Amino acid sequence: MKISSSQGLRLPLRGLLTACCAAVLLSACASFKGIETSATLQQSTDYASATSLPQQGGQWPDASWAQNIGGAQLQALVDEAIAGNPNLQVAAARVAGAQAAADVAAASARPSWSANASSTYQRYTENGIIPPPLGGEYKSDNQLTLNFSYDFDFWGKHAAELRSALSAGKAAQAEQYNARLMISTAVARAWVQLARQYGQLDLNQEQLKAAAEIQRLTQLRFKVGLGTQSENQQTTQSLASLRAENAQLNEAIALTRNQLAALLGKGPDRGLQIERPYLPSETAIALPDALPLGLIGRRPDIVAARWHVEAAQGDIDAAKTLFYPNVNIMAFAGFSSLGLNNLLKSSSGIVGVGPAIYLPIFDRSLRANLKGRVASYDGSVATYNQTLTEALHDVADQVQSLRAATLQSEQQQLATQASANSYQLAQQRERVGTTNMLPVLSAQMTMLSQRRIDLDSRARRSDLRITLIKALGGGFDAQAQGLDKDNSNSTTVSTSVRSAS
């Protein structure tokens, strides 16, 4: 039901106040009773992790983690990817869109001004309400007005909409940081992979040389009747397999370079310009204290999920205000006349002011809309809880894998050292004449195989360090970025509301 009136400037203030009071008295006509959320936000204290993730007094990753791992080369690649990756440009566009939505919500709380000008040339009917001499004449109907309207936000609708828009903007910013983290760690992992592939190629080249020498000696032995055809074929098979593996490694290197070029937002030729990387030195990562609580402000995906919850709560608050009456005040002033000659004369002046009141009574769509908002809130809470759970799961997995990889590496280093000792002993025996070159070359092949396993182990530990850095937020700090919900939300919203009033 909609009631409106338009009277002159002499409309008594008492009448306007009476209309507003009537709106308040009728506010109980529509009800949202029984529509409530059942979701509960999980707290950091709900997650037990002291045994699996013991406090080690470590530091959270900082923004220069790429520099610490791969030096200036890796940091430069990460910076280039952040500047040029299309996915990050999409995320930046989302942030700009969210900020524009917040501006729209803020504008709703301000008075609205507009100007209107119209001129219609027409023939007036002789059989209508306009009497002669105008009836049957051609005249221009002209109007020039300045219009004003203001929506009295008695129930906080605009404040709730603004709060929702600002929270959505915060979520978009956190998601942008999460996209940066995903891209930067993907670059770092591809860089480590490229270093491993080059290291494997170097060892493969050494194995090829040794296998070629074994084949040559085996063929000589076969020609003089000291070897068998089976031995000869085995060495040929081993050499062919190593050559095939060499081709595979070169292919893998080319594909990884293409991957890096794509992450940088460039064409494949950019990948060809990347200098050969080398595996970084070993660096232990100690877990920081108060891990579950810290993750809430250090993981951008958790921060984004939390702001989505805040935005959904604002949507609920805004939907509830629709159950109450809405009062607008509208006014206009200007000129109206038949014929342009009289338009700007004082006698052509027009002015009007009056309220427009909307009274919801039995509107089922309002309850349906609120139910939808509550369902969205429940979904946002569930997403937040799941994100927090997965974050701890992610950290626990990386820590466990890093521990296991460290223990495996210790044993592998013993195996590699043992194979190197065996190779040295074989060389010594060959020098004193107690054996020929074939056992020496065989020991060399064994040592090279162990070195390849050790190289893979080192590369895996480097990759796990990067994924652990990613799991710990990669240097993101919600408070430093102004995205900490507990410290920034109320201040930001209240300031924005004041500036919009």
For the stretch 382-401, pLDDT in tens is 999 999 999 999 999 999 99
Rounded to two decimals, the pTM is 0.80
Q: In which element (H, E) is residue 358 found?
A: strand 349-358
Is residue 452 one of the residues assigned to a domain? yes
Instruction: Give the Cα separation of 73 and 81 in Å (integer).
Output: 13
Q: pLDDT value at position 125?
A: 80
Mean pLDDT of the chain: 84
Is residue 69 one of the residues assigned to a domain? yes
Print burial letters for 307-337: b (CB count within 10 Å at least 16), e (below 16): bbbbbbbbbbbbbbbbbbbbbebbbbebbeb
Number of H helices, E strands in the chain: 11, 5
Domain that holds residue 312: 31-109+153-325+360-491
Higher-pLDDT residue of 401, 119: 401
Is residue 41 one of the residues assigned to a domain? yes
Q: pLDDT value at position 489?
A: 42
Is residue 102 one of the residues assigned to a domain? yes
Is residue 334 one of the residues assigned to a domain? no
Q: pLDDT by residue (tens digit) across 482-501?
A: 998 765 443 333 333 333 32
Tokens read off for 136 = 């049957």
Q: pLDDT value at position 382?
A: 94
pLDDT at 78 over 90: yes
Q: pLDDT by residue (tens digit) across 344-390?
A: 888 888 888 877 777 777 677 888 888 899 999 999 999 999 999 99
Which CATH number goes with the domain that contains 310? 1.20.1600.10
Is residue 123 one of the residues assigned to a domain? no
Least confident among 154-158, 191-195, 216-220, 358-362 = 358-362
Least confident among 287-296, 463-472, 486-495 = 486-495
Tokens read off for 117 = 């000008």
> Domain tally for the chain?
1
pLDDT more than 90, % of the chain: 45
Residue type, 288: P
pLDDT at 28 over 70: no
Indicate the DSSP class of residue 7: B
pLDDT at 5 over 70: no
Is residue 20 one of the residues assigned to a domain? no
Is residue 296 one of the residues assigned to a domain? yes
